[in-house]
Amino acid sequence: MRYSELKMKENFLLNNRITLITSLFVILMSSISAQVVNKEDSITIRSLYDAALLNGKSYDWLDHLSNEIGGRLSGSIEAEKAIRYTESELKKLGLDKVWLQPVMVPKWTRGVKEYAYIETAPGITSTTNICALGGSVATPSGGLKAYVVEVQSFEELEKLGRSAIEGKIVFYNRPMQANLIRTFEAYGGCVNQRYAGAMEAAKYGAVGVLVRSMNLRKDDYPHTGAMTYGDTPPDQRIPAAAISTNGADYLSSALKLKSDLKFYFKQSCRTYPDVQSYNVIGEITGSTYPDRYMVVGGHLDSWDLGDGSHDDGAGCVQSMEVLRLFREIGYKPKHSIRVVLFMNEENGLRGGRKYAEEARLRNEKHVFALESDAGGFTPRGFSFDTDEKNFAQIESWKSLFEPYLIHSFVKGGSGADIGPLKDGSIVLSGLRPDSQRYFDHHHSAVDTFDAVNKRELELGGATMASLVYLMDKYGTKSEFGVIKD
């Protein structure tokens, strides 16, 4: 970009007045384009974005979570530190209440770094990067070496049958589809290999499982993630690891040249009894409807390979920021607004289940919940799990978001942690950031703080705050249909 002389003359005039002009323009445009939307909303939303971009705290919080604490696997010391840190930071915001909600969580540890190689002939080996999948059992202490059978799907596994699989390592190598625009769809099309691959392969007598990393990029980082053994008896559970995309391509090529090569891997991961942990909750009590709740949240736990900045440190600090922004601009919500930092989304969803269970026990009426758990990238919009009536109201707010380049309001899923709150009337929503880079980092050693851009993170928080503000001010359609005022 070059700066032309012509444009420069304009800038002499504009200089420091751009914000004011932009604000006025935003207000004007909004009032023209949607009758339902009023000036006050435009002004409030502008002030939320200004506060986030000029005086945001989310980036500093994330810096601490990522660089001072690090990866926060459920039941780890880091998860515990993150609970204490975020509780303490929420207390500084002057909220009406801040507390910890006890929840028992699984504890799985990776143990010493995994090791793997491809053996094309006795003594001819090349090492490759793997990591144990979350929840996997260990290999025997001396490791595991076996022939490899490469498949693309469970259907292929079934066709091959026990004779082709027994005693071998099953290598699931179906890649994410690069031509899908939303990368989460590509993830959805592959992740059964990771989640159920070991369980399925064990049925045919496989001794181990290797899964191509859920990553659209070709690189050397293996990506972990949750897996299940389902009803497989403990003595029939086989170890499962992810292999990097480069490693998977290499192994696949090598198998084409020499189908009887062997693969060796060693991992010492282990599952312990459940341990005590907590959801971290902060609340601004509503001025008009103190007993109706709106939740904004992310999950505080993460995988252990990186520092969990995108997944989901970003969602936590953005959610904290929503309440801080309300305090900063002096907005007093009508409903009780809670930030909930859920524990154990990654390998159990215990925090999300616990929160919903307690809400039901206490008869707390939840009318809206918003989760950020798709990375701290530039926000593009929201998805909503709700009915037409509520969705129509939300769509009437679209023009308020346009000045901030938030365009996408679609029906769809929301977030794993808030899912258990679903009751037929609550409006559930998920922030949708740009998804192109997400799976480069997701569940890997490169989900780190340097991959998060301060502005993108802050725009996400402001966008969430703007939606919560509108939801709070106007209420949900279900709320006023269901609850008598």
307-336 residues near a second copy, rule: CB under 8 A: 311-312
Nearer Cβ to a second copy (315/475): 315
Task: Indicate whether 411 belongs to the interface with a second copy (CB under 8 A).
Answer: no
Q: 9 Cβ partners below 8 Å, 6+ apart?
A: none
∠126-132-137 over CA atoms, to 5°?
120
Task: Indicate whether 5 belongs to the interface with a second copy (CB under 8 A).
Answer: yes
Q: Where in 78-137 is the site for a second copy (CB under 8 A)?
A: none
> What is the distance between the alpha carbons of residues 213 and 206, in angstroms, rounded to a whole number?
20
Nearer Cβ to a second copy (119/156): 156
Task: Indicate whether 416 belongs to the interface with a second copy (CB under 8 A).
Answer: yes
Task: Answer yes or no: are the C-beta atoms of 105 and 350 closer than 8 Å.
Answer: yes
Task: Answer yes or no: are the C-beta atoms of 208 and 139 closer than 8 Å.
Answer: yes
Task: Answer yes or no: are the C-beta atoms of 326 and 284 closer than 8 Å.
Answer: yes
From the list 225, 282, 286, 313, which residue makes contact with a second copy (rule: CB under 8 A)? 225
> What is the distance between the alpha carbons of residues 116 and 60, in angstroms, rounded to a whole number?
38
Nearer Cβ to a second copy (107/194): 194
Task: Indicate whether 178 belongs to the interface with a second copy (CB under 8 A).
Answer: yes
From the list 75, 419, 461, 475, which residue makes contact with a second copy (rule: CB under 8 A)? 419
Task: Indicate whether 67 belongs to the interface with a second copy (CB under 8 A).
Answer: no
Nearer Cβ to a second copy (207/457): 457
Task: Indicate whether 54 belongs to the interface with a second copy (CB under 8 A).
Answer: yes
Task: Indicate whether 342 belongs to the interface with a second copy (CB under 8 A).
Answer: no
Q: 200 Cβ partners below 8 Å, 6+ apart?
A: 154, 157
From the list 189, 274, 275, 396, which residue makes contact with a second copy (rule: CB under 8 A)? 189
From the list 366, 380, 441, 477, which residue makes contact with a second copy (rule: CB under 8 A)? 380
Here the tokens at position 154 are: 């469970």
Closest separation between CB of residue 220 and a second copy, Å? 14
Closest separation between CB of residue 349 and a second copy, Å? 7
- Other beta carbons within 10 angstroms of residue 138's beta carbon come to 18
User: Rounded to whole angstroms, what are the CA distances from 204 to 236, 279, 314, 459?
Assistant: 11, 40, 41, 49
From the list 61, 117, 154, 171, which residue makes contact with a second copy (rule: CB under 8 A)? 154
Task: Indicate whether 39 belongs to the interface with a second copy (CB under 8 A).
Answer: no
Task: Indicate whether 239 belongs to the interface with a second copy (CB under 8 A).
Answer: no
Number of residues located near a second copy, criterion CB under 8 A = 74
The residue ranges of DSSP E strands in 123-165, in sequence order, are 124-127, 130-132, 144-151
> What is the distance between the alpha carbons of residues 158 and 227, in angstroms, rounded to a whole number?
20
What 3-state DSSP class applies to 247?
helix
Catalytic residues: 345
Task: Indicate whether 217 belongs to the interface with a second copy (CB under 8 A).
Answer: yes
